[in-house]
Chains A and B, each alone.
Chain A
Amino acid sequence: MSLTPDDVQRIAHLARIEISAAESAQTREQLNAILAFVEQLQAVDTTGIVPMAHAVDVVQRLREDRVTETDRRDDFMAIAPESEAGLYLVPKVIE
């Protein structure tokens, strides 16, 4: 199967990446080439094979619920593109 121009725009929107009309054709061609390449996986019989999510089987560690970090809010806010009074600023989302 191969992606249509609409598919590419839909995926780009899901990924929150703007793709201009000029880039769209080449992007589609390259994504289709990659998908055609990975298509060979479909020929493998994987009946009953448990998916392998991780290289090493580990279980999530739990720790005691106590404060382990110091308050470094100012350091973290200082590197934000736009902030005010300890808050991150973004365009208005609620009218």
Chain B
Amino acid sequence: MINSSLRELSAALAQKKISSVELTTLFLDRIEQHNPTLNAFITVDRERALGLARAADAKLGAGETAPPLTGIPLAHKDIFCTRGLRTTCGSKMLANFISPYDAHVVERMNDAGMVLLGKCNMDEFAMGSSNETSYFGPVKNPWDTARVPGGSSGGSAAEIAARLVPAATGTDTGGSIRQPAALCGLTGLKPTYGVVSRYGMIAFASSLDQGGPMAKSAEDCALLLNAMAGFDARDSTSLDRPAEDYTRDLDKPLDGLRIGLPKEFFGAGMSEGVRAAVEGALAEYRRLGATTVEISLPNSGLSVPAYYVIAPAEASSNLARFDGVRYGHRAAEYRDLIEMYEKTRAEGFGAEVKRRILIGTYVLSHGYYDAYYLKAQQVRRLIAADFQEAFKSCDVIMGPTAPSVAFKFGEKSADPVEMYLSDIYTIAVNLAGLPGMSIPCGFEQGLPVGLQLIAPWFAEAKMLGVAHRYQQATDWHTRMPEGWQ
């Protein structure tokens, strides 16, 4: 049951082979058994979960047609506000924060009948690529507990990999769904910017942040995205488009598919094992009827520096709201208002969050705005334009998700810039607002490797189909790490 797909779980629930209470109990017990080792959950609410499961069983038993994901357990990244259930964003600043409202994504998954088990650990305010910046301690990678799960959605990734939950939500500002999915051997999708509402999703860099699903397969992600996506007037950049069925292209053959391979993604910098696994996946795609064509994204090498101006600038503005006045942490001792702010923020934020706020404050400050922020926004347009040009000669772009497999704790945490380069292949996608995903495509020394897929705006269904056909022909996505039975 723990390895079942969402479709299989849905069928088992509909046919009364198992009840939602039984399924929920199974996963809650697994969390109880393995979370002390993995530290993937920050909060688990057993009673709440069982209550939701009983409600789901009532719906499933009532004879009416329940939505397809009714009764299936789910976990939310702790960046999504959940009414009445603690939402920390991995920070001391919000360590005791109980949101008075639900995020749009949380409402949507509730409406879909999914059973919320708890909230997933993450890098503080989603700033990190290893989960080492969480105030609640790092998450362990189930494939090797001496290694990071990736970040920032590392808790979501680790708990799905260890089969503590069948699916979870994540958010991706520069690779935070795709990179942990790659490092933990999962399938994760970042939708086109604006497809999933940001309402109630604690803001990091608003022009880049996008929520999305993480699960074991493309088919699971398609079903989850069907529930997550949709217009929401409370997010000013939510796109008002007709509802889509993201499963519609899952069984579409790949004949004639043109896969673009950016030469910039296949140069030095990627480990040999990652290269071998990605090349193997491309060979499989050719066997399945696709052709590959070399393309160029000439400005993609500038994506990490452009991102580390734009994202901190937006973060410094967004995180100004944490002032110790209306909610969250407040320092115990201060002499005046300014000191209250300064001590509250010094105590409430961790080192990486402070660094990014300071960089953002500097690049937006008087005299530096044009040289840094405006310049980075101009480079952003060049990066985005490269993709538009590339998609004239291909339908989907492929390459590695991350330059290496999961690294060891402490290996990159001493040097911020070294850590930033973990997202070298993923960041350009956020800058351009495109949909992207990572799927498992092999191993290097027992650790999973991710293949990245990048599609034109709003081509999620097609991209999911391209991923699904590969997963029908291979079994990388079904592998489970040992020791979590």
Shortest Cβ distance from B173 into chain A, in angstroms?
Answer: 11
- CB nearest neighbor in B for A68: B233
19 additional contacts (CB under 8 A) given A33-B415, A41-B309, A79-B100: A7-B362, A33-B417, A34-B416, A37-B417, A37-B420, A41-B302, A41-B376, A44-B379, A46-B378, A50-B378, A51-B378, A55-B207, A55-B432, A56-B433, A76-B100, A79-B97, A79-B327, A80-B327, A88-B325
Q: Chain A's nearest CB lies how many Å from the CB of B202? A: 14
Knowing A31-B359, A51-B377, A61-B233 touch, does A81 contact B416 (C-beta < 8 A)? Answer: no
CB distance from B166 to the nearest CB of A (A): 30
Cβ contacts under 8 Å, B372 to chain A: 38, 41
Cβ-defined contact, B208 with A55, below 8 A: yes
On chain A, the residues within 8 Å of B323 by CB distance are: 16
Which B residues are closer than 8 A to A by beta carbons?
97-98, 100, 192-194, 207-208, 233, 236-237, 239, 299, 302, 304-306, 308-309, 316, 320, 323-330, 334-343, 345-346, 349, 354-355, 357-359, 361-362, 365, 371-372, 374-382, 384, 415-417, 420, 430-433, 457
Given A50-B381, A52-B384, A82-B330: A18 and B375 interface contact (C-beta under 8 Å): no
Interface size range of chain A in the complex: 35 or more
Nearest CB of B to A72, in Å? 6
Cβ contact of B308, chosen from A38, A60, A78, A82, cutoff 8 A:
A38
- What is the interface of chain A, defined by CB distance below 8 A to chain B? 3, 7-8, 11-20, 27, 30-31, 33-35, 37-42, 44, 46, 49-56, 58, 60-61, 63, 72, 75-76, 78-82, 88, 90-93
Are B361 and A15 in touch, CB under 8 angstroms? yes
* Residue numbers in B under 8 Å from A52 (CB-CB): 377-378, 380-381, 384, 431
Residue of B nearest to A8 (CB): B358
Main secondary structure of the interface of B (DSSP, over half): helix
Residue in contact with B340 in the complex, picked from A17, A60, A78, A90, CB distance below 8 Å: A90
Give B99's nearest chain A residue, CB to CB: A79
With A34-B359, A41-B302, A76-B100 given, is the CB distance from A55 to B381 under 8 Å? no
Say whether, besides A37-B308, A61-B233, A17 and B100 are in contact (CB < 8 Å): no
CA of A54 to CA of B361 in the docked complex: distance in angstroms?
A: 20
- Whole-angstrom distance between the Cβ of A21 and the nearest chain B Cβ: 13
Q: Taking chain A's interface residues, is the majority helix, strand, or loop, or is none over half, making it mixed?
A: loop
Chain A residues with Cβ below 8 Å from B304 are 37
Question: Is the pair A56, B327 in contact by a Cβ cutoff of 8 Å?
Answer: no
A-B contact pairs, 7 of them (CB 8 A): A12-B342, A18-B345, A37-B417, A56-B457, A63-B233, A80-B327, A91-B334
- In angstroms, Cα B160 to Cα A22, docked, is 41
Output the nearest chain A residue to B366 by Cβ-Cβ distance. A14
Q: How far is the CA of A53 from the CA of B378 in the complex (A)?
A: 9
- Alpha-carbon distance A52/B302, docked complex (angstroms): 15
Contacts of A55 in B (CB 8 A): 193-194, 207-208, 384, 430-433
Q: Is the CB of B239 within 8 A of A27?
A: no
Q: Are B237 and A54 in contact (CB under 8 A)?
A: yes
Which residues of A sit under 8 angstroms from B381, Cβ to Cβ?
49-52
A76 to chain B, nearest CB (A): 6
